[in-house]
Amino acid sequence: MPRLLRHTLLIVLALIATMGSAQAYIDPNAGGMLFQLLAPMLAALIGGWLFLRRWIADLARRLWRRLSGQDPK
């Protein structure tokens, strides 16, 4: 057995042997409030990114047309 694999196995077994209970709990109301805060923020960030992506692409397209002589403006 290679040395690195043996050391990794030893570390994993040591971590498993020393595990305790986590005693973690999230209140259902706190989870709902967290979702109500994060969902609109995530939607706003994605919407802003999509809006700016389209605006920058249109700007680059107009600039390319103007520089290549395809746009008479």
Mean local confidence (pLDDT), 40-67: 91
Domain residue extents for the chain: 28-73
The reported pLDDT for the residue numbered 25 is 76
How many Cβ atoms sit within 10 Å of the Cβ of residue 20?
5
* Interacting residues of 66 by C-beta distance below 8 A, sequence separation 6+: 73
Mean local confidence (pLDDT), 64-69: 89
Which pair of tokens denotes residue 39?
């969902």
Q: What is the mean pLDDT of the chain?
A: 86
Residue 72 pLDDT level (bands cut at 50, 70, 90): low
Please determine, for residue 70, whether its predicted confidence score (pLDDT) is greater than 90.
no
